[in-house]
Amino acid sequence: MGRYVLRRLLQLIPVFVGTTFLIYWLVWAVPGDPFAGKCGERRCPDAYIDKMTELYSLDQPLPVQYFKYMSNLLQGDFGTTFGGQDVGALIAAAYPNTAKLAVVALLVEALIGLTAGVLSGLRRNGFLDNLVLVSTLFLLALPTFVTGFLLQWFLGVKLGVIRPTVSAEANFSELIVPGFVLGSISLAYVARLARTSIAENRRSDYVRTAIAKGLPMRRVVGIHLLRNSLIPVVTYLGTDLGALMGGAIVTEGIFQINGIGRTAYRAIVTKEGGTVVSVVVILVLVYLFMNLLIDLLYAALDPRIRYE
Amino acid sequence: MRGSTPRNVAAGLAAVAIVAAAAGCGDNKDGGSGDSAKTADGAISMHGVQPQNPLIPGMTTETGGGKIIDYMFSGLMRYPAGGGNPEKLAAESMETTDSKVYKIKLKSGMKFHDGTPVNAKSFVDAWNWAAYSPNGAPNGTFFNEIDGYKDVHGEDPDGEGPKKAPTPTAKEMKGLKVVDDLNFEVTLSAPFSIWPTKTGYAAFMPLPESFFKDTAAFGKKPVGNGPVSFVSWQDNVEVKLTRFADYSLDDKVKVKDVTVKLYQQDSAAYADLQAGNLDFMEQVPISALAGQKWKSDLPDRAIETNIPTNGIIAFPLYDKRFQNADLRKAVSLAIDRQLISDKIFFGSRPPADSWANPSTPGNPSASCSVCKYDTAEAKKLLEKAGGFSDEMVFYYNADSSHKEWMEAVANSVRDGLGIKARAEGVPTFAVFRQMIDERKMKGPYRAAWQQDYPDVENWVGPLYVTGGSSNDGDYSNKQVDALYKEGTSAKDLEGAHAKFAEALKIVDADVPSVPVYVYKSQAGFGTRLANVKVDHVGELDISAVELK
């Protein structure tokens, strides 16, 4: 187990260097001088362009630029935006909000999705099963921004039961609706995955044996059936958490949440190459660790899986 | 999603943020129905976007930061709402006999937010800093009329890089002279009658001594001399401002705190506005304009104002195919402006009929003779020009909402002239601007101009004079240049405006570009506010606003 983790951690290093270099190269290779559009409908003064080019070492060869960037990064310096703000501080302010939103979305997915999936899987073709199938189909068909705008308008503007946007503090109570919007599509997947998995395992030998032994139904479902049926669902939730941690551009935008997705999107639009790279570096790290965590979680769920 | 709103059109695309000295309008006493006690310690919030540059007057070129600089600083002049000639603000007097040497006297007793006095040196040092090219201030070029500017501002010798601009020989402009605490003298390198008007622009704001000690720190925590002072700036969240107790000029604010909330999507701000979480939004989203929905969403809380910006189709005159004036006239006459205004903009942007903005002082009204829709005349002119055999491609930047109207223009030209025409998007504004800067446009393209300061000179100079800062099509006519020069060296504004009007007559015969529509802003405010007025660019007048 320990060796496996160590090997995985070592593998992260080349992946990390490779992805960050690619991103660095791509971001600055995007066509269009980053400073060409900064002065509106007129050419920027040479003085301004010269100063910015020098500040971001854009006049140097790419490997040199990258090396400079990485050596600063390793010392904890994420660089500054064109406006002079510290990128590290921007990320530090945005990340907790994204994490909070991801947790809310994941809870929504797990609680609603799993309950619906288990109940409908146990009683296939019943009324509840059909209801779950139809409503999840409905959720799957709606893009996030439709659900988002609809709920914002209906609950926020029309009924006035929630604030249409999330405040700077981003309390958990404010994040319930955005979390539901963000998790809605995954919720449908989780429900359907759980339903199929439960329905399949319901007929397997070990469940029949457990019933024949005379175990109470609650124990059969809760211990024997659920644990084995959860593996695909946990895999899905795990990768989804990785994706959620990467920020939600659409949801964060609609509900005005100061998260990492919005920060990245803004940086891309304003051609803040340095900010984009720094945000993505963090995302790469988060994603790599999430994947490792999920792989380790398998072993805990399924004793047949062992890591050497 | 961002960039799909008119606000951002103006932010990214239309020149620089116009900045009034302060948004004040001391003479507006009507309609005040606020509760004065509530107002005195009340707080208001308004829509804004994250500033892209440090909050330094010489550095701010876009509306996000421009708005904050605007509220925080008071310059020599201010621009009244609804157009009209500028009024003195921090200046007690500004005298000249030859439009070349200006003697400026400041009002006494003015203070910066840190308590230090605003004196002649605060202005002179700030201007020298911005003009000195190694400081890299994008607004540095605004000082080009001052004597000695060339010694402090180096320019790339071939004009297109990668050669570096030479380091300037001097640090200070010799045309600026501090006489005493309240008096200073400005000598221009040539007479320029519009210069006093120019000094209301953001680049001309005074700066306290603390700025020169640490400019980077100042950019995050600016100290101004305007009616509100800086409290805090939380990136992508909000900028907080508060009333400056020691403010001595007449545009004092009545409310206590002003919060500028930094939104990324205007739809979020609009939802907040309707739900009462936001008090003012200077431009409602385009989606709310369809069918005048915003007026029913915000009953009695909707304000529509003219703003001094024109939407333009520009020609690349460096391309041989577009060098015939008759062809350009034909294109202009074939554009059905009324239809575009009605169908694409739901009437929110009326058709243009003059070479500058209708609200600009000195603008000769209806000066554009080819701004009507006349396909018969257009066809005749096209024939006279020898036809146009290629496909005419109209370019626009696709990262903002220009597709619809540019396609309408292309279709209108295609049907009106019977030639092949279509519209094509360039991915981003940066790529689009780069193509323009490098003179690589292969067809007529979208442009816009928002005046920096209210005078027709700010249209003639940048757009139609040879080498003007936004004359990107390289239009050049010696008569226009000569008339412009005569205008700028005229003794008074009337004389200057007469010359500019003559210059525009020649422009009208040459049609270097085509005015298509003029912008209007559609602002909305919340139920808590009273006495809501907007300034000359459609931003909230914070000096007038009260709480109910």
Q: Does domain B11-275+526-547 have CATH number 1.10.3190.10?
A: no
Q: Do A84 and B54 touch (CB under 8 A)?
A: yes
Q: What is the pLDDT of residue A203?
A: 87
pLDDT for B476-513, tens place per residue? 999 999 999 999 988 888 899 999 999 999 999 999 99
d(CA B393, CA B147): 44
Please check the confidence at residue B1 and state whether its pLDDT lies above 80: no
Q: Is A52 on the interface with B (CB under 8 A)?
A: yes
d(CA A79, CA B51): 18
Q: What is the pLDDT of residue B10?
A: 37
Q: Do B234 and A168 touch (CB under 8 A)?
A: yes
Query: HSE on the CB side for B400, CA within 13 Å?
Result: 26
Q: Where are the domains of chain B?
A: 11-275+526-547, 308-519
Kindly indicate whether the ipTM for this predicted assembly is greater than 0.90, answering yes or no: no
B421 confidence band (pLDDT: 50, 70, 90): very high
Amino acid identity for residue B349 in this structure: R
DSSP B111: B
Q: Do B275 and A156 touch (CB under 8 A)?
A: yes
Q: Do A84 and B220 touch (CB under 8 A)?
A: yes
What average pLDDT does this structure show over A195-221?
A: 89
Amino acid identity for residue B232 in this structure: S
Q: What is the pLDDT of residue A75?
A: 87
Query: HSE on the CB side for B73, CA within 13 Å?
Result: 33
Name the residue among A33, A262, A270 with its Cβ closest to that of B52. Answer: A270
Q: Prior bond to B162 cis, omega within 30?
A: yes
| pTM passes above 0.95 | no
Tokens of residue B263, six digits = 């939104």
Q: Is A90 on the interface with B (CB under 8 A)?
A: yes
Residues of chain B found within 8 Å of residue A90, distances taken between Cβ atoms: 235-236
User: CA quadruple B64, B89, B280, B40: dihedral positive or negative?
Assistant: positive
Strands B280-281 and B513-525: antiparallel
Protein fold of B308-519: Dipeptide-binding Protein; domain 3 (3.10.105)
Alpha carbon separation from A202 to A195, A220, A233, A302, B209 (Å, rounded): 10, 10, 16, 18, 78
Residues of chain A found within 8 Å of residue B439, distances taken between Cβ atoms: none
A99 to chain B, closest Cα gap in Å: 17
B28 confidence band (pLDDT: 50, 70, 90): very low
Q: Do A39 and B274 touch (CB under 8 A)?
A: no
Tell me which residue of A88, A84, A187 sits closest to A144, measured CA to CA. Answer: A187
Q: What is the pLDDT of residue A52?
A: 84
Alpha helices in chain A (DSSP H): 2-29, 46-55, 62-74, 87-108, 114-122, 127-141, 144-151, 176-202, 205-212, 217-219, 226-245, 249-254, 260-269, 273-301
What average pLDDT does this structure show over B119-125?
A: 95
Query: Bridge partners of B232?
Result: B240
To the nearest 10°, the Cα dihedral for B60, B62, B66, B68?
-100
Cβ of B100: how many Cβ atoms within 10 Å?
A: 19
Tokens of residue B527, six digits = 């139920």
Secondary structure (DSSP) of B352-388: P-SSS-TTSTTPPTT--TT-S--HHHHHHHHHHTT--
Task: Write down the mean pLDDT value for chain B.
Answer: 88
Q: What is the CA radius of gyration of chain A?
A: 24
Contacts (Cβ under 8 Å, ≥6 apart) of B483: B499, B500, B502, B503, B506
To 5 degrees, how large is the angle CA B291–CA B294–CA B299?
A: 120
Please check the confidence at residue B297 and state whether its pLDDT lies above 70: yes
pLDDT for B135-163, tens place per residue? 989 898 899 999 999 999 877 655 554 55
User: CA quadruple A7, A13, A14, A15: dihedral positive or negative?
Assistant: positive
Residues of chain B found within 8 Å of residue A168, distances taken between Cβ atoms: 234, 237-238
Residues of chain B found within 8 Å of residue A249, distances taken between Cβ atoms: none
Helix axes of A273-301 and A87-108: crossing angle, nearest 10 degrees: 40
What average pLDDT does this structure show over B207-219?
A: 93
Amino acid identity for residue B130 in this structure: A
Amino acid identity for residue B501 in this structure: A
Please check the confidence at residue A308 and state whether its pLDDT lies above 70: no
Please check the confidence at residue B434 and state whether its pLDDT lies above 70: yes
Contacts (Cβ under 8 Å, ≥6 apart) of B392: B331, B410, B413, B414, B419, B420, B421, B422, B443, B444
B232 to chain A, closest Cα gap in Å: 13
Please check the confidence at residue B108 and state whether its pLDDT lies above 60: yes
Q: Do A269 and B433 touch (CB under 8 A)?
A: no
B26 confidence band (pLDDT: 50, 70, 90): very low
Residues of chain A found within 8 Å of residue B264, distances taken between Cβ atoms: 253, 256, 262, 265-266
Amino acid identity for residue B275 in this structure: A
